[in-house]
Structure 1
Amino acid sequence: MNISVSRRGFLRGSAAGAAALLIGLNARGVLAAAGSLSADINPFVRIDADGMVTVIIKHFEMGQGTTTGLTTLVAEELDADWDRVKPEFAAANDKLYANLFFGAQGTGGSTSIANSFLQYREAGAAARDLLVRAAAASWKVDPASITVEKGILKSGSKSGHFGKFVSAAAKLQPAEKPTIKTPDQFKLIGNAKLHRKDNDGKTDGTAMFAMDVHLPGMIYAAIMRAPRFGGTVTSFDDSGAKGVPGFIAAKALPNNAGVVAFGKNTWAAFQARDALSVEWDFTKAEGRSTDAMTADLHALLDKPQFEASHEVSLASVAPALAGAAKTIEAEFDFPFLAHAPLEPENCIIEPVAGGGVRVHDGCQFPTFTRPMVAAALGLAPEKVEIKTYYAGGSFGRRANKDSDYNVEAAMAFAVSDRKAPVKLVWSREDDIRGGYYRSVAAHRAKVGLDGGGKIVGWDHRIATKSIMKGSPFEGMVQNGVDPTSVEGVAESLYTLPNLAIGLSDFETPVPILWWRSVGHTHTAFVMESLLDMVARESGQDPIEMRLSMLDPAKPNQARMIEAIKLVRETSGWKKGDQRGFACHYSFNTCVAVVADVAADGTSVHVDKLHMAVECGVAVNPDVIRAQMEGGAGFALTAIFRDAITLTDGEVDQYNFPDYELLRNKEMPAVDVAIVPSNNAPTGVGEPGVPPTGPAVANAIFAKTGKRIMDLPMTKAGFEFV
């Protein structure tokens, strides 16, 4: 007998067996009714006749906890039973489900909870008010007499679950401004023991990712892309592919950016794609190697194209530096970095009745994807439906301004007969060798100190490729300055007299994109390394020096002071310790980090990271801790040894053997402390990344006397164990 079962199939089978032992109970042992009628109370809340509450999630889930966080906000105000509330991803609808900060439907910038905090709470409160009024009318009692707890409404001897009143509630006029709870009334918000809503499905294999979707009659597609960025197809020969079992056909993409091979399964598509012989035109392609690109970057630092400081010019800071008692000068280099999510890019384009299509995708930005897929297929945007699934990571990759893999899938569908669903799958090699990247960047800084070690002038120059120019967000560019190129320096919370910032745009066909924490990935490393250099040079305690540069009368600086003091306390920091410290403000959140490292010559191990975060109301403390821990691990992965390098325009790395993830033994213990706060919530998905790298680099300096200014750290000869 031939037995073949995938891990997911095994998990599903195990779950089914367990369910059979709990007849009549759902996965958490709660009695499940059979009612199927439901009512949409508002765009964010649907309640079934059996009392099950569905929260419509406008931000997709890539592991960052939106299905839990947004559900918490509704369930809190609705006074729902947490075990009787489930999330469901929203349809593509800019009007109903726009990110309130972007004005477009999309997930990113660590904004999911911040922009939804009041919106989802009010949706829950509005639903509760409707149910209470419906119950009051049914029972002929005063609405004020009704209490709600865990999905049950009560008044005297009368009681009933949500489902009994949902039909009547849906016919009532909702309150214009429902009353929401005060923090002292919270039961779910701030509860550290809530289980995540995606835990069960991701454990038992029932959670659906786009990669899991299989439709009847579906064919598979893989694309041969140019080995150099900017190359185009001149001709191709598919004779080698015709011998691959399961091969269907090969076609040039309409934009000549590649050749798509169709197969009866993923393996056939990959094998056929690899058997193609393609001739390329590299006239407009990138042909430089990494060394040449680095030299060009540094040349841009000599004569910045733009001034990024509104108050101080590079010319005006020169006298202050010339008269300084001491100056600190440093140059920093940062490589291209791949996003490398564990689930490579993939999506399905499925034909639907009426001449439209349905996109099956872990879709991060429906506002981008819908019109771009429509344009590629010659359809009106309303003819494109998007069904969103869980995504196995993104870190910015799935939110690119070109909707590249979605458009590729649409082009593949366009050159097929348009009758069968087409599933495009990228391999890991496809993404690492031909995806989007965190841009290379170079910094040059000169910091002047007076005789007492106080900063008197700061000349800071940056060269990197602009993300926003040429994108839908180009309106953010002011006076030629892309704010994502200088963020973390230009809006530093520190009091830095005579800070002048020069910026130059690096030009290359290599596609770049926001990468977890965007410009802060390099600016925080530079700023916090430089400040550590100032502290060491002037004999100041690194933490005390930073506290002296923050004004407690200014709200965000006061928040950072709280984070710094909390991590100083939890880490047991003492002046003179051979430890590293860094803090950074990004995505409206303050994070402070103390790093403990062990060093034996050039062999380094990060023993522990102590982190403190001020992110306003802690909606889901466990999720916040997970995001800080994950952000720290993500940062360590990048700074230790990762880099995307090029030889004659072609990427050298291809997969995890040479673009490595952090190993278990390399991940330090992480202690996360959350500053208690009733401020509006801010971002947590990205802010843990920026200060982690410089905290570790500063700790390595404290231990070894070696200052790391070029990443990855292996360039300085360090080995991480």
Structure 2
Amino acid sequence: MSPRLEAAPPVGRHALSRRAIFKGSALLGGGLVLGALMPRVTKTWAQAAGTPPPIEPPSAFLRIDEDGLVTMIIPSTEMGQGIYTAEAALLAEELDVGLERVSLVAAPPDEKLYANALIGMQMTGGSTSIRAWFLPLRRTGAAARQMLIEAAAGSWGVPPGECITSNGSVSHAASGRMAGYGELAAAAMALPVPSAITLKATDQFRLIGKSLKRLDTPDKVRGKTVYGIDVRLPGMKIGTVASCPVFGGKLKSVDEAAALAVPGVSHVLKLDDAVAVVGDHMWAAIQGMQAAAPVWDGGAFKDMSMEVLVGSMAKAAQSDGLVAHDQNDAPGAYGKAATKLEATYQLPFLSHAPMEPINCTVQVKDGVCDVWVGTQVPTRARMLAAKGAGLAEDKVTIHNYLIGGGFGRRLEAEYVGQTAAFARQVDFPIKLVWSREQDIQHDTYRPYYYDQLRAGLDGQGRIVSWQHKVTGASVYNSYMGGWPADKVDPDAVEGAVETPYAFPAQRVDYVRWDPAPMPISWWRGVGPAHNVFVVESFMDELAHAAKQDPVAFRLPLLEKDPRAKAVLQLLADKSGWSSAAPAGVGRGLSLQLAFGSYVGLVIEASVGEGGLIRVHKATMAIDCGFVVNPDTVRAQMEGGLIFGLTAAMYGQITIEGGRVQQNNFNDYRMMRIDEAPVIDIHVVASEAEPGGIGETGTTAAFPALANAVFAATGKRLRKLPLSPVDLGAA
């Protein structure tokens, strides 16, 4: 039996109804239904393993039917990171069933049931899925297993301690009795959830920590996977969208007659700032949009440019800002330093540009709204759909699909509200697909950052003062609204306040600068993607100012963090750091603590004709705590690194006349397959609490590459993107 992925199945496909699952045991034919057991506070996962937690309201559900099939309502969204397999393994491990017996259903929107405990809302992001669900899903499986054992023992009149489980059945060796989980499910359902739950010891694991075949791979290979963009509904029409190219602008006029004259076009739908052309197929919609020739009123932002934006940031950066961290009078120590160094770093706006462009399918009919979409935030999507459709949230149903690339873009759902607002104007389901140009020019962008650093060294070349001022937008304010002006945005300083290093004196300040009305949001790597670049680049500058090897310079600052020190030493060994690099090739280093994981990266790169960078090799060392699926860790590190290198070399969104200048992959380019380096990954065996991995490879890429370019050319690069390198005077 192959595993079934019931992630919002297409209309007409027979599948277990999620509504039936959530209505209660009366509709489940005597099966066992169980919620995830959430520990309020745990010291570490290892210490908590044998300790019964206080029972919270359920936050995920498990069902075992009379046939022994296990249905898991998966709390996180799958977008290529392998979380369906990893989270299923957590539950299946403790339940003692094989993954082939587990069927997965995407969780519907419900903050009370499915909120990510580390985030506080129903969201897949921030490299938190394993960290948030490692214990709750295991406890759910373990509790169900104990209830099944008790049900069998009660039926057989034997002590529960004499019964064991294996591959979906309970057995009693002394009497030779055995019963499958399906036979026991009804009796187990009648039992109370145990107050004391015992989890397996790590040496008992059969799934966790082993390389597992991805549950979603077979259907992807066969072309059977259904993403949001693949949705087909009876009577559905398809359309494309154009929004005002100037941020904050409005729709002025549109030639409806010309659009409707295009064969296959049926409707032209309008909002204040956007127009949708809908028809029988996508090509008709595209041609119809060209014929519609919308005219826009650019509004107040129409004269905005990068020169104005960056100039405004530079001016704002001269203010004192808010204190995010202040330890041991760093300014005073700087004044007494033997050697002083200052630098300014700039990072550009970035687009997400996922392979699956923005799309959403909505039907508003008979006072209800159905939404078919791939989203990282089901409850946010429901809220915005309700607003767009003019309905209460309980009238909206979200059918969540696998996502063809998220990178933070699907943390936003403004396009869901937009589609619902269009869909309420018609009586049939419509699927709206953004063109790549619309996708890149109307993204929610990674903020521009303008960072100022200064540090002081003593006579022996040791850091005595570290000061970092971050100037940039508040993503928290953009995402949630109402973030206080006198409160530091945690995302803006993440990776700046918490570094692997023990600085004798450290100060971090934050100056908030919002580029309204330009939409900004999280981008893969969030705060650390910017701060790790700045911190590790400046560390490299300080090492060279102190005339020390970059590894040797860092090691004394890691004495209080043995995990960070071990990662750096492993990295130096595996990368051949102490050996000479090939002629013309520079080695660059980065070290980070982000998302609960330690990552070290050495990049080997050269700069050729025209200043073009060539990345030859990447060596990575990672301590991400206890590993659930080693194959996923490696895949995520590889993918994250390529994503980060792409942005480091080529990524930037620029504004002129209030408009994004980039259009498609020709001018917002991706790293190509022949540009990808050899990647050598070394994972530290660890019993520590699991860390995140989805974004760590991305955050490591920026500084390691910049430092490698310096090592190869003597050219210090403090502004992204890096390529082409200006090979003028260093």
Q: TM-score, normalised by structure 2?
A: 0.87
Using a 3 Å threshold, how does the CA distance of structure 1 residues 572 and 161 change in structure 2: closer, same or farther?
A: farther
CA distance, structure 1, for counterparts of residue 424 and residue 223 of structure 2: 33
1:2-55 per-residue CA deviation (whole Å, 9 max, x = no partner) reads xxxxxxxxxxxxxxxxxxxxxxxxxxxxxxxxx999553444212233322222
1:204 maps to 2:213 = no
Contact 2:613-2:725 within 8 A present in 1 as well: no
Specify the code of the residue in structure 2 equivalent to 1:176. S
**SS of alignment partner, residue 579 of structure 1:** strand
| Matched pairs, number | 669
Residue 83 of structure 2 is matched in structure 1 by 66
Shift of 1:286: 4.9
1:632-683 per-residue CA deviation (whole Å, 9 max, x = no partner) reads 0110010111211122121111111211111111111212222222222121
Shift of 1:77: 0.1
Residue 33 of structure 2 is matched in structure 1 by 40
CA distance, structure 1, for counterparts of residue 466 and residue 649 of structure 2: 28
In the TM superposition, what are the counterparts of 1:266-665 in structure 2 within 5 Å?
266-311=282-327, 317-351=330-364, 355-400=367-412, 403-416=413-426, 419-472=427-480, 479-508=486-515, 509-552=517-560, 557-574=561-578, 578-600=586-608, 602-665=611-674
1:264-313 per-residue CA deviation (whole Å, 9 max, x = no partner) reads 2222222222322333232232532223322222222222433333446x
Shift of 1:708: 1.4
1:232 maps to 2:242 = no
Aligned with 1:691 (options 689, 700, 704): 700
Using a 3 Å threshold, how does the CA distance of structure 1 residues 286 and 396 change in structure 2: closer, same or farther?
A: farther
CA distance, structure 1, for counterparts of residue 195 and residue 219 of structure 2: 36
Which stretch has the larger CA shift, 43-52 or 572-581? 572-581
CA distance, structure 2, for counterparts of residue 690 and residue 705 of structure 1: 23
Shift of 1:411: 0.4
CA distance, structure 1, for counterparts of residue 719 and residue 650 of structure 2: 11
1:712 maps to 2:705 = no
Contact 1:41-1:47 within 8 A present in 2 as well: no
Specify the code of the residue in structure 2 equivalent to 1:210. G
CA distance, structure 1, for counterparts of residue 499 and residue 62 of structure 2: 40
Structure 1 spans left out of the alignment, 5+ residues: 1-34
CA distance, structure 2, for counterparts of residue 139 and residue 149 of structure 1: 18
Which stretch has the larger CA shift, 85-94 or 658-667? 85-94
**SS of alignment partner, residue 221 of structure 1:** strand
Shift of 1:167: 2.6
CA distance, structure 2, for counterparts of residue 57 and residue 451 of structure 1: 57
CA distance, structure 1, for counterparts of residue 724 and residue 257 of structure 2: 44
CA distance, structure 2, for counterparts of residue 102 and residue 320 of structure 1: 37
Contact 1:238-1:277 within 8 A present in 2 as well: no
Specify the code of the residue in structure 1 equivalent to 2:270. A
CA distance, structure 2, for counterparts of residue 377 and residue 603 of structure 1: 49
Identity of aligned residues (%): 38
Shift of 1:135: 2.3
Contact 2:76-2:124 within 8 A present in 1 as well: yes
1:174 maps to 2:193 = yes
Contact 1:590-1:614 within 8 A present in 2 as well: yes
Using a 3 Å threshold, how does the CA distance of structure 1 residues 473 and 122 change in structure 2: closer, same or farther?
A: farther
Residue 106 of structure 1 is matched in structure 2 by 123
CA distance, structure 2, for counterparts of residue 277 and residue 229 of structure 1: 18
CA distance, structure 2, for counterparts of residue 676 and residue 221 of structure 1: 50
Residue 79 of structure 1 is matched in structure 2 by 96
Shift of 1:687: 1.6
Residue 4 of structure 2 is matched in structure 1 by none
Contact 1:79-1:150 within 8 A present in 2 as well: yes
Residue 141 of structure 2 is matched in structure 1 by 124
Contact 2:350-2:446 within 8 A present in 1 as well: yes
Shift of 1:198: 0.9
Contact 1:286-1:510 within 8 A present in 2 as well: no
1:230-269 per-residue CA deviation (whole Å, 9 max, x = no partner) reads 101233332221221111121221xx12122222222222
Structure 2 spans left out of the alignment, 5+ residues: 1-27, 36-59
Contact 2:386-2:393 within 8 A present in 1 as well: yes
Shift of 1:317: 4.6
CA distance, structure 2, for counterparts of residue 269 and residue 36 of structure 1: 47
Specify the code of the residue in structure 1 equivalent to 2:108. A
CA distance, structure 1, for counterparts of residue 612 and residue 282 of structure 2: 42
Using a 3 Å threshold, how does the CA distance of structure 1 residues 322 and 104 change in structure 2: closer, same or farther?
A: closer
CA distance, structure 1, for counterparts of residue 485 and residue 170 of structure 2: 54
Residue 19 of structure 1 is matched in structure 2 by none
CA distance, structure 1, for counterparts of residue 600 and residue 112 of structure 2: 38
Contact 1:563-1:613 within 8 A present in 2 as well: yes
1:458-506 per-residue CA deviation (whole Å, 9 max, x = no partner) reads 332222222112432756x683321211221122231223333333223
CA distance, structure 1, for counterparts of residue 87 and residue 141 of structure 2: 10
1:172-194 per-residue CA deviation (whole Å, 9 max, x = no partner) reads 222133211121211111002x1
